[in-house]
Amino acid sequence: MTHNMGSLDRLFRALAALSVGMLYATGVLGGTTALVLGAGAVAFLLTSFVGTCPLYFPLGLSTRREQRS
């Protein structure tokens, strides 16, 4: 699988997901909002760990620096 996410992109996604988790754990989020944001947080965590965002492929985007040979 081709990596298309840079380290800063991965860091921001992981921090956003952890923030949603903390808001849920402290009771700030609940109901439908918690479910929707929770699903997005899980997707953000998965993509940040894998280093690949499936939505970047059709758009031709990449935040990863080119490897020098």
Distance (Å, whole) CA 40 – CA 20: 9
Kindly state the average pLDDT of the residues 13-37: 96
pTM for this predicted structure? 0.86
Report how far apart, in Å, the C-alpha atoms of 1 and of each of 8, 19, 21, 57 are. 19, 28, 28, 11
At residue 38, the pLDDT reads 97
pLDDT of 7 higher than 70: yes
pLDDT of 67 higher than 80: no
What percent of the chain clears pLDDT 90, i.e. is strictly above it?
Answer: 90
Kindly state the average pLDDT of the residues 35-52: 96
69 confidence band (pLDDT: 50, 70, 90): low
